[in-house]
């Protein structure tokens, strides 16, 4: 009896299953595959999917969005972060960094707490001549509020043809009213080479990026130092993310002794091109500063000098980016940047994803990096949290006897008052825009005093501690 009941139950379940399958699938329809020309190959599959969706998808298609998605999917499948599609807007920004010049007012801006903040005013720029300062907040451009405006959009409003004017309104710490400026745009050249003497006979050159003209600027800077009695050179490539291969080679042709600077190889390892230097060896010692953000073209120079045994590398292992990209302009005004080869050092070392190992590993103290942090514009007694602890750490680094508690107490306010008094600021004991800008300047100056990498490079050139250091 029980067996008969079990059979009946199973039959009922089977019937219910068939009914459910019918109900859930009766709204699906099948169609024969779209016939595509055989010569299209795998590309035909993409066209086939597009044709089906274009004719039968239940909503209108956003063709631009779908094309962008298809391109993004193709490029992501390569698992290569350096191969990418660049929108017309991204191309514009990249070309500014690559060419090293633009037409505008001469400021570097960032988004800060939802507002557009001037981070840097270029020397000799129209903005500097008009009286614009670092730390000013841009509130309006041509009467348009900058509230909620994206950073790229704000930058485009400030840029424009040479000789045209732009009206901006800024808010400045310590000023009650907005400051109005009418600025005439001009061609702004972005410097990438900075040179000076650190002490008698010891020169210092920092290259921030390899843009168009970097090689020529380096040649002029080095020649100037040599004419003034250069006896030792520190070449600072820290935080240099690379740039144009041709500009790196141009620098190499000046500073790397006669021989190979780098070689470019294809995916099979075949040498496509060798870049050579014919320069005479320098009659002074060279030390190259590198860190974990030294990459690409900067690694070419560092690697060539290290392989030549004519320079010592000091700092931290480098980033390890040794691929070469080509930029192809596209019909929509954008571009396709894709990897075409990789480069090796003169001795054949492949540093990609490995980096260069410095001859002398020297770490920077944690306090050195405080200069790169940004404090909130407003803080006062009674506040608490991580930003207050950051403020207290900065005060302690600057020599003020403050306890790190994360609480903005009376002692913190008193120390901040002392800082404001020392820097001729309104003595309020609270953080404001003007105080924050003075903090940044003070931290940058103090960081130079604890730059152990730079100090060690100096010691090498003055023969103070080379034998005492163990790597």
Tokens of 433: 């825009």
Count of beta carbons in the 10 Å neighbourhood of residue 172: 19
- Spatial CB neighbours of 23, under 8 Å, sequence gap ≥ 6: none
Identify whether 17 is a catalytic site residue.
Answer: no
Query: Residue 315 and residue 322: Cα distance in Å, rounded?
Result: 19
Identify whether 296 is a catalytic site residue.
Answer: yes
The alpha carbon of residue 87 and the mean position of all alpha carbons in its chain are separated, in whole angstroms, by: 18
Q: Is 57 helix (H, G, I), strand (E, B) or coil?
A: coil
Tokens of 381: 């007694």
Q: Which entry of 136, 211, 236, 307 is annotated as an active-site residue?
A: 307
Question: For residue 399, what is the DSSP state?
Answer: T
Q: Which entry of 296, 312, 438, 451 is annotated as an active-site residue?
A: 296
Q: How far is CA 72 from CA 53, 76, 82, 85, in A?
A: 19, 6, 13, 7
CB 134 within 8 A of CB 127: no
Query: Residue 261 and residue 228: Cα distance in Å, rounded?
Result: 27
CB 311 within 8 A of CB 288: yes
The 3-state DSSP composition of the chain as helix, strand, coil percent (nearest 5) reads: 35, 25, 40
The alpha carbon of residue 175 and the mean position of all alpha carbons in its chain are separated, in whole angstroms, by: 33
Query: Residue 276 and residue 249: Cα distance in Å, rounded?
Result: 8
Question: For residue 350, what is the DSSP state?
Answer: -
Identify whether 384 is a catalytic site residue.
Answer: no
Count of beta carbons in the 10 Å neighbourhood of residue 222: 21
Q: Which residue has the tokens 């002029």?
A: 220
Q: Which entry of 277, 321, 383, 438 is annotated as an active-site residue?
A: 321
The alpha carbon torsion through 308, 311, 314, 320 (nearest 10 deg) reads -30
Count of beta carbons in the 10 Å neighbourhood of residue 161: 8
Helical residues (DSSP H) of 100-147, grouped into ranges: 126-130
CB 218 within 8 A of CB 237: no
Query: Residue 174 and residue 433: Cα distance in Å, rounded?
Result: 8
Residues that are catalytic = 296, 307, 321
């Amino acid at each position: 009896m029980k067996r008969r009941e079990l059979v009946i139950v199973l039959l009922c379940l089977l019937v219910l299953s068939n009914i459910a399958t019918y109900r859930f699938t009766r709204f699906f329809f099948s169609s024969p595959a779209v016939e595509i020309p055989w010569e299209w190959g795998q590309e035909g599959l993409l066209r086939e999917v597009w044709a089906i969706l274009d004719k039968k998808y239940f909503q209108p298609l956003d063709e631009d969005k779908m094309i962008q998605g298809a391109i993004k999917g193709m490029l992501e499948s390569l698992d290569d972060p350096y191969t990418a599609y660049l929108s017309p807007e991204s191309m514009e920004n990249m070309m500014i960094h690559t060419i090293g010049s633009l037409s505008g007012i001469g400021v570097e801006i960032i988004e800060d707490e939802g507002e557009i903040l001037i981070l840097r005013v270029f020397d000799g720029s129209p903005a500097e001549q008009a009286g614009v300062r670092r730390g000013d907040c841009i509130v309006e451009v041509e009467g348009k509020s900058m509230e909620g405006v994206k950073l790229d959009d704000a930058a485009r409003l400030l840029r424009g043809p040479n000789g045209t004017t732009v009206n901006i309104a800024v808010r400045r710490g310590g000023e009650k009213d907005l400051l109005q400026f009418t600025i005439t745009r001009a061609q702004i050249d972005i410097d990438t080479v900075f040179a000076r003497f650190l002490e008698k006979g010891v020169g210092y050159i920092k290259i921030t990026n390899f843009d168009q003209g970097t090689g020529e600027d380096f040649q002029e800077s080095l020649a100037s130092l040599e004419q003034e009695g250069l006896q030792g050179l520190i070449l600072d490539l820290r935080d240099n993310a690379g740039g144009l291969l041709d500009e790196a080679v141009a620098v190499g042709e000046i500073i790397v002794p006669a021989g190979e600077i780098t070689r470019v190889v294809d995916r099979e390892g075949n040498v496509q091109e060798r870049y050579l230097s014919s320069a005479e060896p320098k009659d002074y010692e060279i030390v190259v500063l590198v860190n974990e953000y030294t990459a690409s073209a900067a690694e070419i120079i560092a690697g060539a000098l290290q392989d030549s045994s004519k320079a010592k590398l000091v700092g931290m292992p480098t980033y390890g980016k040794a691929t070469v990209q080509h930029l192809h302009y596209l019909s929509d005004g954008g571009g396709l940047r894709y990897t075409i080869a990789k480069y090796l050092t003169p001795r054949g070392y492949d540093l990609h994803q490995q980096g260069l190992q410095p001859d002398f590993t020297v770490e920077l103290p944690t306090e050195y990096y405080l200069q790169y942090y940004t404090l909130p514009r407003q803080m006062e007694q009674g506040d608490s949290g991580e930003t207050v602890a950051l403020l207290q750490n900065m005060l302690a680094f600057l020599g003020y006897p403050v306890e790190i508690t994360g609480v903005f107490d009376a002692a913190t306010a008193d120390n901040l008052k002392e800082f404001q008094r020392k820097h001729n600021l309104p003595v309020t004991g609270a953080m404001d825009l003007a105080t924050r800008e003075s903090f940044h300047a003070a931290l940058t100056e103090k960081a130079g005093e604890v730059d152990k990498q730079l100090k060690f490079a100096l010691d090498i050139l003055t023969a103070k501690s080379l034998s005492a250091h163990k790597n």
